[in-house]
Structure 1
């Protein structure tokens, strides 16, 4: 005799056999829901760690749905703003985009000087600062532009310094119109050092930095690279740098604009350049006693 057939199926079976339990989309069983974690605004300079990669860095930007971190070596990584995606002081948090706020008026210029809100540009002085090329002039303007306008100092570029003695003689600097010149690669024994030594005027000051090109005065950390590569002697320096770093070498002008875009203040420049530019500004602006 056959045993009676049960008309009741086990609770985990369906018409076609055993069924799986129902889980939420994040695979967490419904009876083991995770506790909520705090939401933290991804404000600039907040230091967090991304949970899946362990990448630790400070927030330098936050767009819709993503956050950009910079580690202590200057490397940048972009991560999605996912729930429970970061650690803050060892605790899991959810980063969210900061709420829009009223822009704060800067108290310092890009050069680190005290900002003067609403200050009008001064009428240009007779004195000038000359730099070697357009890239030099653009970098000086980017960092010291506010200071130069308040002081009434005009920066011009020369396209090289081979004819510097004649240029200084033509300018004819005097006590009311002093001339400052910034020279690239001003190191002992260089062509530039010999040219600079041939300039003789108490109202002209020629100073320089040790870098072959003004590009090199930008700190590698500002660009996310380990360092500026060495380029074999005889090869065009900019082209060699681009090839070594995998940058497009056919358009060094576009590469320079990308480099310049990563410079936001004096902190992104090497001290050897900072001191020389400040020295020139003082020289052409401090009254002669």
Structure 2
């Protein structure tokens, strides 16, 4: 067995060199001590300022081996002063978070977010898709809230596999509310918005109407809306695609939906305390 003198360190105990990466605006890194993950918005002498997807800012020292980039330890360094025009502010994703050009999708987490239907999933993908891929969060749809208890039981949520669920028209005392209460636990979070259907979470002005019409009880809501507005009631699928095409960013959605989706992303990624 090879021996090492007292003044030598075995090679596996020597600090391995890590790459130095310029702290360019928009670069997404994680500070492992706190778990804070965000995009670089400012780099000054000895410090770097990060912004997470909720707009929270944190300042960290530029220390050797101080950050993780796509899971690898790196040393952030101050980028060279640009010789050309001043850098523009980082671009934003549809959800309002800092865009990361060329960022690779993270390997999918064990945790999941479920939404109630296909239209819900398409809307979440359009607005939060970039964020979800970076976070490694997969969105699936239930097909109906009645299936939720069996889905949660089969999923078996745990500390490393959290489950978040978004439910339409979640109001106290409703059937949906009772089902949500029954399946909520430490590792399963069910939240909802007050709208009868995900269509209603799109701001009326974004689709060119003054308000979403009130549909009498007992009448199919989508069909009733189409008839009241003058859209083709016989093809609600095509109407939804037209609505979805008018959604360009979070600004086209109601705050009650925005907050709930961000809450679920935060819960599934375990970043609530960051």
With the shorter chain as reference, the TM-score category is 0.5 to 0.7
Deviation, 1:105, is 9.9
2:229 corresponds to 1:229: no
TM-score (norm: length of structure 1): 0.63
| CA distance in 2 between partners of 1:107 and 1:145 (Å) | 15
1:123 and 2:107 correspond: yes
Aligned mates of 2:219, 2:89 — CA distance in 1: 46
Do structure 1's residue 255 and structure 2's residue 239 form an aligned pair? yes
Question: How far apart are the structure 2 equivalents of 1:218 and 1:205?
Answer: 23
> Could you give the per-residue CA deviations for residues 73-126 of structure 1, whole angstroms, max 9, x where no partner exists?
xxxxxxxxxxxxxxxxxxxxxxxxxxxxxxx99710000001111100000000
Q: Helix, strand or coil: the match of 2:105?
A: coil
Change beyond 3 A, Cα 1:200–1:209 = closer
DSSP-derived class of the 1:181 partner: strand
8 Å CA contact 1:175, 1:288 repeated in 2: no
Q: Please, which of 265, 269, 273 is the counterpart of residue 285 of structure 1?
A: 269
- Say which SS state the counterpart of residue 146 (structure 2) adopts: coil
Matched, 1:174 2:158: yes
TM value normalised by structure 2:
0.66
Q: Secondary structure at the match of 2:183?
A: coil
Residue in 1 that maps onto 2:192: 208
Residue 274 and residue 200 in structure 1: after superposition, are their counterparts in 2 closer, same or farther (change >3 A)?
closer
Q: Specify every segment of 5 or more residues in structure 2 that has no aligned partner in the other structure, as ranges.
A: 1-87
Deviations 1:168-188 (A, max 9, x none): 011001000000000000011
Q: Is 1:217 aligned with 2:191?
A: no
What displacement does 1:288 show?
8.9
- Identify if the C-alpha distance between structure 1 residues 200 and 142 changes in structure 2 by more than 3 Å, giving closer, same or farther: closer
Q: How many residue pairs were aligned? A: 186
SS in 1 for 2:144: coil
Are residues 268 and 287 of structure 1, via their aligned partners in 2, closer, same or farther at CA, if it must alter by over 3 Å? closer
Maintained 8 Å contact 1:129/1:153: yes
Mapping for residues 128-167 of structure 1, pairs under 5 Å:
128-167=112-151
Greater C-alpha radius of gyration: 1
Structure-1 separation of matches of 2:194 and 2:135: 27
Structure 2 SS opposite 1:243: helix
Distance change in 2, residues 1:184/1:288 (3 Å): closer
CA contact (8 A) 1:182 1:276 kept: yes
Residue 225 to residue 200, structure 1, CA distance change in 2 (3 Å):
closer
Aligned Cα RMSD in Å?
1.6
Aligned-partner Cα distance in 2 for 1:125–1:231? 40
Query: For the residues of structure 2 that align with 1:288 and 1:260, how far apart are their CA atoms?
Result: 30
* Counterpart-to-counterpart distance in 2, 1:244 and 1:258: 16
> Following the alignment from structure 2 to structure 1, what is the Cα–Cα distance between the partners of residues 206 and 129?
20
Q: Quick check: 2:165–2:264 contact (8 Å CA) kept in 1?
A: yes
Q: Point out 4+ residue stretches in structure 1 off by more than 6 angstroms.
A: none
